[in-house]
Structure 1
Amino acid sequence: MDPQFPESFNHRTEKLSTGRTYHFVDQVPEGYDPKRTPTLLLVHGFPDLWYGWRYQIGPWVRRGARVIAPDMLGYGGTSKPVDAAEYSTKKLCADLAALLDFLGVQRAVLIGHDWGAFTVGRFALWHPDRLLALVMMSVPYTPPSRQYIPVEEVARRAPNLGYQVYFAAPRSSSEILAHLNKFLSVIFSPPDAKVDFTLLGSLENILSKQSAQGGPCILNEKELQYYYSEFGKGMHGPLNYYRTSKFRHDEELAFGLPADLRPDLPFLFLWGTRDSTVVPSVVAKSSKFIPRYQGVAFEGRGHWLMVEAKDEITENIINWLEGLTSSTRATKL
């Protein structure tokens, strides 16, 4: 499991009971016991892949966990429906539950980053009995809303989320693909790069400029090339996540999803203090809906915590989980 060699991980591609095919990495530790070994299900965000967890998978397996890291719907080797309705969080959560079913795992620790954080937070509402613990990174928990808020209104209320208006527009799929090198270098820029793409219209302006490709990047050349090769297959699927707000709202309202997480569910939220997409007021409010809330802020870090703070993230999460298991006299990680 060498982070610089994606092929060194154990790759699988399987068709799930939901009818969708998922590619995922499945790493089993030495002495694996299906009844005692905890499973960590890692859910990436945008624009990312299973590969976003490359620095965490090996250390967590060596600490005794089974680690499952899928390419989410629309990404990498996983099915890529065209219709945005197929990317609703309810359907994504059904896929994740089906993946656990396929692997014979009844309950798992879910860990999500960015869109993956939102997804695992909703998984805790749609499938509350399938979780051992929940870790969300970079996107704080927000409860289901009884009122639909269009993305344009979201951007008006929170200007640092203005980029979502562009991502939600159908034209962004082809435009971003046409400027993929520049897009990736902007998205994966370090927090001190002074490249602000978050405000309404900023990203389109950056991509349209005839400037040299890229700038400072948190990825090395080999990592960047892997992302480029995967996203070069198309950006429509990944961007469809930003086109689901009405579908998600209608499903949650119809089902009557609760606002609060399960009372006994251990919860950890991690974020970087220099992440321009994190809304501090939302972070503060989220704890009201989470009975066992714990939070850790990483000073000076940006959005891509699994890379920018790879060692701290790896240790913080596994130590927290080991603390939970030892305190409950359950299986040690």
Structure 2
Amino acid sequence: MDPSDPSSFHHRKEHLSTGRTYHFVDQKPAGYNASTLTILCVHGFPDIWYGWRYQIGPWVRKGYRVLAPDMLGYGGTDKPAAPEEYSTKRLSDDLAALLDVAGVRQVILIGHDWGSYTVGRFALWHPDRLLALVTLSVPYVPPAKQYIPLVDLVRQFPNFGYQLYLSDDTHTREIEENLVLFLRLMYGLTKPSKPMVLPGNLREIITKRESGKPANQPILTEEELGYIHSQMMSIKGPLSYYRTLQFRYEEEKAANLPDSLRADLPVLLIWGLKDATASPAALKRAKQCVPRLTTVPLERVGHWVMLEAKEKVTDTVLLWLEELALAPRAGTKL
């Protein structure tokens, strides 16, 4: 498992009971058996399984099995056209089906960015499948009590303005035509001339093809960015996640999902203090809805915590699991 060589990981492709085909990395430790604990890693936007490249090896060497899929719409996984296919209920059902294919009953579930939001919903849709939950960068968000259109949300929270651009299907081709620049912006390799989170700014930056300023300390090499780009030639699937707001609300309302996570579920939140995603308000709301929440803020770290602070994230998760008696030597039966 060489983080610089994607082919050095063990890749699988399986047709799931949900009807979708998923590509995923399935890395087993030496001495793997039916008692081996499994970590399932769920990436965010715009990322692929490769976002976990620095964590997979160390976790496997500690005795865990690690599953890291390309989520729906990404890489080698199916890419349905309809945005409703990307609701978090359907994604959660896919992850449960992937665990079934892998022969895993209960799992340690870890997510980043959109993956954090998704694993939080998995914990509501499939609460019996979790041993522990880790969210990176994005705190747990409870289901909405009422539907609020995105445009109204942006009026309340202007920092969500970029989502208006991403959620509009008429902009898909525009983003694809400037995909390298878009990825450089998303990964912080290019510093824009204006805050790209505010309404209208991201589109202006993209359409004017701003070269921007290079990052002082880039978190990706050009080779890593090239690999991600090669796996994401179409951005329609990834953008569909931003087009599911009403579908998600209707599914969650129909199921009457609870606000809080399972009372006995241990949850770890790791976030960077330079990342506005984990705002004080979001953290306060998460603490109200997560009975067993442990929080670990990281100084001088931004949004891409598993890249910017790879050793810290890797080790923090391992130590936390050990404290929960979920280290491999505990021999937990799955």
Residues 190 and 302 of structure 1 are in contact (CA less than 8 Å); yes or no, is this contact kept in structure 2? no
Of 38-47 and 198-207, deviating more is: 198-207
* Distance change in 2, residues 1:281/1:194 (3 Å): farther
Partner of 2:224: 223
Is residue 2:21 matched to residue 1:31?
Answer: no
Question: What are structure 1's unaligned runs of at least 5 residues?
Answer: none
Residues 86 and 240 of structure 2 are in contact (CA less than 8 Å); yes or no, is this contact kept in structure 1? yes
Of 188-197 and 156-165, deviating more is: 188-197
Displacement of 1:215: 2.5
Displacement of 1:211: 3.6
Residues 192 and 213 of structure 2 are in contact (CA less than 8 Å); yes or no, is this contact kept in structure 1? no
TM superposition score normalised by structure 2: 0.95
Partner of 2:5: 5
Displacement of 1:28: 0.2
Question: What are structure 2's unaligned runs of at least 5 residues?
Answer: none
Q: Matches of 2:110 and 2:80 in 1, distance apart?
A: 24
Of 115-124 and 167-176, deviating more is: 167-176
Q: Matches of 2:171 and 2:242 in 1, distance apart?
A: 11
Q: Deviations over 1:117-165 (max 9, x none)?
A: 0000000000000000000111111111120011112212221111111
Displacement of 1:283: 1.1
* Distance change in 2, residues 1:326/1:303 (3 Å): closer
Map 1:62-73 to 2 at 5 A: 62-73=61-72
Displacement of 1:220: 0.3
Partner of 2:40: 41
Partner of 2:186: 187
Q: Deviations over 1:95-122 (max 9, x none)?
A: 0000001111000000000000000000
Displacement of 1:268: 0.4
Residues 142 and 282 of structure 1 are in contact (CA less than 8 Å); yes or no, is this contact kept in structure 2? yes
Partner of 1:262: 262
Residues 265 and 292 of structure 2 are in contact (CA less than 8 Å); yes or no, is this contact kept in structure 1? yes
Displacement of 1:196: 2.6
Q: Matches of 2:213 and 2:280 in 1, distance apart?
A: 29
Partner of 1:15: 15
Secondary structure of 2:324's aligned partner: helix
Residues 261 and 289 of structure 1 are in contact (CA less than 8 Å); yes or no, is this contact kept in structure 2? yes
Residues 269 and 294 of structure 2 are in contact (CA less than 8 Å); yes or no, is this contact kept in structure 1? yes
Partner of 2:50: 51
Residues 272 and 297 of structure 1 are in contact (CA less than 8 Å); yes or no, is this contact kept in structure 2? yes
* Distance change in 2, residues 1:222/1:207 (3 Å): same
Displacement of 1:192: 8.3
Displacement of 1:277: 3.0
Secondary structure of 2:26's aligned partner: strand
Partner of 1:168: 167
Residues 25 and 69 of structure 1 are in contact (CA less than 8 Å); yes or no, is this contact kept in structure 2? yes
Partner of 1:159: 158
Secondary structure of 2:293's aligned partner: coil
Counterpart residue type for residue 305 of structure 1:
V
Secondary structure of 1:293's aligned partner: strand
Residues 198 and 277 of structure 1 are in contact (CA less than 8 Å); yes or no, is this contact kept in structure 2? no
Q: Matches of 2:46 and 2:146 in 1, distance apart?
A: 28
Displacement of 1:275: 1.0
Displacement of 1:319: 1.1
* Distance change in 2, residues 1:250/1:280 (3 Å): same
Map 1:181-330 to 2 at 5 A: 181-189=180-188, 196-212=195-211, 215-216=214-215, 217-232=218-233, 234-325=234-325, 330=330
Q: Matches of 1:310 and 1:326 in 2, distance apart?
A: 21
Q: Matches of 1:190 and 1:210 in 2, distance apart?
A: 14
Aligned length: 330
Residues 172 and 236 of structure 2 are in contact (CA less than 8 Å); yes or no, is this contact kept in structure 1? yes
Q: Deviations over 1:272-314 (max 9, x none)?
A: 1111333221112211111101101111111001100111001
TM superposition score normalised by structure 1: 0.95
Is residue 2:80 matched to residue 1:81?
Answer: yes
Residues 218 and 308 of structure 1 are in contact (CA less than 8 Å); yes or no, is this contact kept in structure 2? yes
Q: Matches of 1:214 and 1:251 in 2, distance apart?
A: 42
Secondary structure of 2:214's aligned partner: coil
Displacement of 1:214: 6.9
Of 129-138 and 269-278, deviating more is: 269-278
Q: Matches of 1:306 and 1:149 in 2, distance apart?
A: 32
Residues 10 and 26 of structure 1 are in contact (CA less than 8 Å); yes or no, is this contact kept in structure 2? yes
Displacement of 1:326: 6.3
